């Protein structure tokens, strides 16, 4: 109901987005994104919870982050994606969505989404969604949890419960 109200009250660009939202959520791309995100976030959740603790040990969190990156990188396989794709197809069938890839253009004019060529929907989503998303997650982890950590004697000063001691 709220979506209908927003649709009636909106104008311009906002109205265009509100009108297109239900259409997108009823697409195979949306189902595939949800399945892939759920899978990858299962690996990232423990490190996220660890980093949110007041008593977080940054050295331990960095080590856990490295282990998580290794596990995620091992998941970048054809077999792993094949299983995720099959799961997305099953979910799509339940919600009456046809598994298909978005229309692609050969002229290279598509500017609002990845558009690597693929013969099948599975290949399209593997190339344009799965690999880029996994790469994005691991590069963000690399950036925020690099192998070069703060020297151990200084680490206790940066714990949330000791931050008031910094002068």
- Asked, for residue 91, whether it belongs to a domain, the answer is yes
Q: Is 124 helix (H, G, I), strand (E, B) or coil?
A: helix
Residue 68: give the domain boundaries: 20-102+114-165
10-residue mean pLDDT profile of the chain (167 residues): values are 54 62 75 90 86 80 85 84 93 89 62 70 88 88 73 55 55
- Asked, for residue 8, whether it belongs to a domain, the answer is no
* Distance of alpha carbon 118 from alpha carbon 41, whole angstroms: 26
Q: How many domains does the chain have?
A: 1
Identify the pLDDT of residue 108.
Answer: 54
| 84: nearest Cα among 117, 130, 118, 121 | 130
| 88: nearest Cα among 147, 29, 43 | 29
- Asked, for residue 11, whether it belongs to a domain, the answer is no
Alpha-carbon separation of residue 70 from 18, 64, 84, 129 (angstroms)? 39, 10, 19, 20
């Amino acid at each position: 109901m709220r979506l209908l109200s927003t649709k009636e009250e909106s104008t311009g660009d906002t109205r265009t987005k509100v009108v297109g939202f239900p259409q997108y959520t009823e697409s195979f791309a949306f189902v595939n994104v949800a399945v892939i995100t759920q899978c990858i976030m299962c690996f990232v959740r423990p490190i996220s919870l660890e980093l949110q603790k007041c008593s977080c040990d940054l050295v331990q969190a960095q080590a856990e982050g490295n282990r998580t990156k290794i596990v995620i990188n091992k998941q970048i396989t054809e077999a792993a994606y094949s299983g995720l794709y099959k799961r997305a197809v099953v979910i799509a069938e339940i919600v009456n969505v046809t598994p298909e890839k978005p229309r692609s253009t050969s002229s290279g004019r598509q500017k609002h989404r990845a558009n690597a060529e693929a013969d099948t929907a599975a290949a399209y989503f593997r190339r344009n969604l799965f690999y880029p998303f996994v790469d994005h997650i691991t590069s963000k982890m690399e950036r925020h949890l690099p192998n070069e950590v703060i020297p151990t004697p200084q680490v206790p000063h940066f714990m949330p419960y000791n931050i008031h001691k910094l002068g």
